[in-house]
């Protein structure tokens, strides 16, 4: 399949054959599996303190005629702590056991739980190829809400040499991504407690720029809200299909397409 290569001015500068990775069948189930594996591996373990609800003495003897005992008083056999005393009379409050005031949880979350998931190598590679193929499917890209003129977008190698954010914005406007950049500028205030946890705003996912190697563009493009940049050898299912939904709008450089084909990446 031949596709046009655009210059930085948005005009045709040549043609290129897409490698076989773009011919992969769409497997939404594999893409979802691969994305969930990545998210599970990035999940931070959490759990209650081991001493939560156990930081005081809460034990009562059940023996007859022993000092400080509830024996014969009709008190249920729950571990208790002493709250007051009057001579040999004592007042108790349930503690330590689940279901009592200040007691521990019955089954608290444990920090040593393993959240990690696994996926077969062939499944992971097929999921990436399928996600790559979905980026040239107009219907899937539109379904994600992207605004564009044509896909795939392949630009000449000069793009990787741009060192200023202003220059990248000018190029993206010229290749028909001006409406997309306006779309990703919109921020919404998150509902719920997430506002108090360092994630007050919800932002939109915009275009993904794929480059062939380390370049100046990696530092300059990162300043644009909603836009991500990644080397072609580091592609994965999550960056190509955020939220397990395939069809992200991707801007490729000519050299990244050539590297994808020559090195048979993810095959």
Residue 183 sits in the same domain as residue 253? yes
142-148 average pLDDT score? 96
* 85 part of a folded domain: yes
Q: How confident is the model at residue 158 (pLDDT cuts 50, 70, 90)?
A: very high
Q: How many domains does the chain have?
A: 2
Residue 39 sits in the same domain as residue 69? no
Q: Which residue has the tokens 């003129």?
A: 149
Percent of the chain at pLDDT above 90?
84
- Domain end among 72, 87, 114: 114
Residue 196 sits in the same domain as residue 136? yes
**pLDDT of 217-231, one tens digit each?**
999 998 999 999 999
- Residue 177 Cα distances to 147, 173, 184, angstroms: 7, 5, 11
Pairing of strands 250-253, 153-155: parallel
pLDDT at residue number 15: 94
Residue 91 sits in the same domain as residue 132? no
Residue 49 sits in the same domain as residue 61? yes
- Domain end among 89, 114, 139: 114
Contact of 209 with 217, CB cutoff 8 Å:
yes
Range of the domain at 228: 2-43+116-262
Asked whether residue 37 carries a pLDDT value surpassing 90, the answer given is yes
* 267 part of a folded domain: no
Closest to 14 measured CA to CA, from 262, 258, 209, 250: 258
Say what the pTM is: 0.86
Closest to 7 measured CA to CA, from 228, 213, 170: 170
Residue 125 sits in the same domain as residue 235? yes
Residue 193 sits in the same domain as residue 67? no
Packing angle of the helix pair 121-134, 28-41 (nearest 10 deg): 110
Residue 56 sits in the same domain as residue 129? no
Residue 153 sits in the same domain as residue 236? yes
Q: How confident is the model at residue 72 (pLDDT cuts 50, 70, 90)?
A: confident
* 217 part of a folded domain: yes
- Residue 2 Cα distances to 35, 166, 203, 223, angstroms: 30, 31, 34, 32
Cα separation of 103 and 94, whole Å? 8
pLDDT at residue number 77: 86
Q: Which H/E stretch holds residue 253?
A: strand 250-253
* 202 part of a folded domain: yes
**pLDDT of 56-68, one tens digit each?**
888 888 888 888 8
Cα separation of 122 and 255, whole Å? 26
Q: How confident is the model at residue 197 (pLDDT cuts 50, 70, 90)?
A: very high
- Look up residue 199 and give its two tokens: 């994630």
pLDDT at residue number 88: 83
pLDDT at residue number 58: 87
Q: How confident is the model at residue 192 (pLDDT cuts 50, 70, 90)?
A: very high
**pLDDT of 165-186, one tens digit each?**
999 999 999 999 999 999 999 9
- Domain end among 114, 131, 150: 114
pLDDT at residue number 74: 86
pLDDT at residue number 1: 85
115-131 average pLDDT score? 97
Report the CATH number at residue 24: 3.40.1370.10
Which of these ranges, 21-25, 67-71, 109-113, has the smallest mean pLDDT?
A: 67-71
pLDDT at residue number 224: 95
* 49 part of a folded domain: yes
Q: Which H/E stretch holds residue 84?
A: strand 80-86
Q: Which residue has the tokens 């939904």?
A: 245
Residue 78 sits in the same domain as residue 104? yes
Q: How far apart are the first and last CA of the chain?
A: 18
pLDDT at residue number 95: 92
Asked whether residue 17 carries a pLDDT value surpassing 90, the answer given is yes
Residue 157 sits in the same domain as residue 223? yes
Residue 131 sits in the same domain as residue 96? no
Contact of 28 with 35, CB cutoff 8 Å:
no
pLDDT at residue number 252: 97
**pLDDT of 83-112, one tens digit each?**
999 988 889 999 999 989 888 999 999 999
Contacts of 155 (CB under 8 A, 6+ apart): 5, 6, 7, 8, 171, 175, 251, 252, 253, 254
């Amino acid at each position: 399949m031949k596709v046009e290569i655009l210059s930085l001015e948005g005009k045709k500068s040549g043609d290129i054959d897409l490698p076989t990775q773009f011919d992969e069948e769409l497997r939404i189930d594999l893409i979802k599996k691969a994305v969930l594996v990545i998210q599970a591996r990035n999940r931070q373990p959490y759990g209650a303190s081991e001493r939560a609800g156990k930081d005081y003495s809460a034990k009562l003897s059940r023996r007859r005629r022993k000092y400080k005992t509830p024996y014969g008083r009709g008190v249920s056999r729950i571990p208790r702590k002493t709250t007051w005393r009057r001579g040999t009379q004592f007042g108790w409050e349930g503690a330590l056991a689940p279901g009592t005031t200040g007691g521990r949880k019955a089954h608290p979350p444990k920090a040593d739980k393993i959240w990690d998931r696994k996926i077969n190598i062939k499944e992971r590679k097929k999921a990436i190829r399928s996600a790559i193929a979905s980026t040239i499917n107009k219907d899937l890209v539109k379904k994600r809400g992207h605004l564009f003129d044509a896909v795939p977008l392949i630009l000449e190698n000069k793009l990787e040499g741009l060192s200023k954010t202003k220059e990248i914005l000018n190029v993206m406007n010229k290749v028909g991504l001006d409406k997309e950049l306006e779309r990703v500028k919109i921020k919404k205030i998150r509902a719920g407690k997430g506002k108090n946890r360092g994630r007050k705003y919800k932002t939109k996912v915009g275009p993904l720029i794929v480059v062939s190697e380390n370049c100046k563009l990696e530092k300059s493009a990162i300043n644009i809200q909603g836009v991500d940049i990644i080397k072609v050898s580091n592609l994965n299912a999550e960056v190509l299909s955020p939220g397990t939904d395939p069809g992200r709008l991707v801007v490729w450089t000519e050299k990244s397409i050539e590297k994808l084909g020559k090195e048979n990446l993810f095959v």
